[in-house]
A = this chain, B = another copy of it.
Amino acid sequence: MREKLTIIKVGGKIVEEEATLRQLLDDFVGVEGHKVLVHGGGRSATKIATLLGIESKMVNGRRITDEETLKVVTMVYGGLVNKNIVAGLQARGVNALGLTGADMNVIRSVKRPIKDVDYGFVGDVEKVDASLLSDLIHKGVVPVMAPLTHDGQGNMLNTNADTIAGETAKSLSTLFDVTLVYCFEKKGVLRDENDDDSVIPQITRGEFEQYVADGVIQGGMIPKLENSFEAINAGVSEVIITLASAISENGGTRIKK
């Protein structure tokens, strides 16, 4: 039987402020069994870039990553944010290991081809190599993954944290019984966007399509759920969309096959 593994993705907002980070780390300690934390860090990157006189350009919510911006995100995601989390988890008795996709060649990407937009040094994930990662997890190590990968040719690549979490979950699902948790600023997928308590507790593919047809689920939640079903179809046992403060609880929206 495959052992349970929980992969939790949290956005930058939560890990970049001292109080919310402290709460997250306390909650993360409470998550039982093997686990992986995937984090963002966009606000800090924008802040440091501004201080360094580098303009942050976003297109469709994605950062245009020129050479100077790549240095900033490598510093901020791989250094500042990642090591702050790692040190915080070590202080809580969690044997964290900070990783980018370049480390142990865990995630290799390809630089996004230029179509309408040149995103610069942004990576589309090509391959996750989970063999050494799973050995470490079995030994009690808790990987903390920054939203960075590499191209195998010496370049780091800025990579979406949701994608890192999803692709890592898919790859590890061959070895573990994986639950993927996307932390979100709402309690879950809402039936009524104006009512924070109208969480839909569980969604199957058929129900999802009906919700979309009825206009209940719309906007940015649609690709998030599409990604979730893709993960489920690739072997991930369950995807949960919930509040960061509820990762060790039983709430949120569960996406099932």
| Contact status B152-A91, CB under 8 Å | yes
Known A-B contacts A74-B84, A78-B79; A98 and B90 likewise in contact (beta carbons under 8 Å): no
| Beta-carbon contact of B74 and A100 below 8 Å | no
Contact of A83 among B80, B84, B86, B102 (CB under 8 A): B102
Q: How many residues of A contact B (CB 8 A)?
A: 41
Return the CB mask of A100-127 against B: 1 if under 8 Å, else 0: 1011110000000000000000000000
Q: Are A87 and B155 in contact (CB under 8 A)?
A: yes
User: How many Å lie between the Cα of A235 and that of B38 in the bound state?
Assistant: 39
Q: Is the CB of B78 within 8 A of A154?
A: no
* CB-CB contacts below 8 Å: A118-142 with B: 132, 135-136, 139, 141
Q: Which residues of B contact A155 (CB under 8 A)?
A: 87
- A residues within 8 Å of B by Cβ? 48, 51-53, 71, 74-80, 82-84, 86-88, 90-91, 95-98, 100, 102-105, 132, 135-136, 139, 141, 148, 150, 152-156
